[in-house]
Every structure is written in C-alpha cells, then in structure tokens.
Amino acid sequence: MAFTLYSLLQAALLFVNAMAWVTFFNVAFCDAVGWGSDQGIGGFGEEPGIKAQLMNLIRSVRTVMRVPLIAVNSVTIVLLLLFG
C-alpha cells in the first residue's frame, strides 16, 4: 500500500474514531483506571494536569465530532466499496 494523502486521511479518521469510542466506554474503562470525569479537578486558579487535559480533549472530540464522524465514515465506506 502506497503512502498517499487518502491513506493519511484514513488514518486520521481511524484515530478520531478511536477517541470517540474511548469516551463511549468511559464508565467501564476510564473510571476503572482512575481517569474518570471526576478525576483531576484542581482548586481555583490551578492549572489542570495532563491527565485532566487529555480526558477533556477526548470528551470534547466526541461531543463536537459526533455528527461529522457519521458523515465522514459513511463517505469513506462508500468510497471503499466503489473503488476498493
């Protein structure tokens, strides 16, 4: 498989899908390892830690990208079915 722009975009799509699925299993997986939504809450004026920032990014991706992910996944599936 050649390294093309399409394969790079497909890899980015798979990565965003993975981030969306991690938040889908947030209760089962992330809370078990201590990365739940109530973790990493600091006091007033404190910078959040890297763990809190990472979980906030993952939750934000799922919230913002829900509808666009459905559309982009559908287009990708149709393209793969048509062109292999």
Could you read off the pLDDT of 35-60 as tens digits, one per residue?
666 655 566 677 877 877 877 787 78
Q: What is the pLDDT of residue 82?
A: 94
Count Cα atoms within 13 angstroms, Cβ side, for 31: 7
Mean pLDDT value across residues 7-26: 81
pLDDT at 1 over 60: no
d(Cα 39, Cα 51) in Å, to the nearest integer? 9
Q: What is the pLDDT of residue 74?
A: 93
Q: Rounded to an integer, what is the distance from CA 10 to the centroid of its chain?
A: 14
Using CA atoms, how far residue 23 sits from 4, 19, 53, 76, in Å, is 30, 7, 14, 22
Q: Take residue 77 and report the two structure tokens written for it.
A: 């599936």
- Mean pLDDT score across all residues of the chain: 78
Domain residue extents for the chain: 2-83
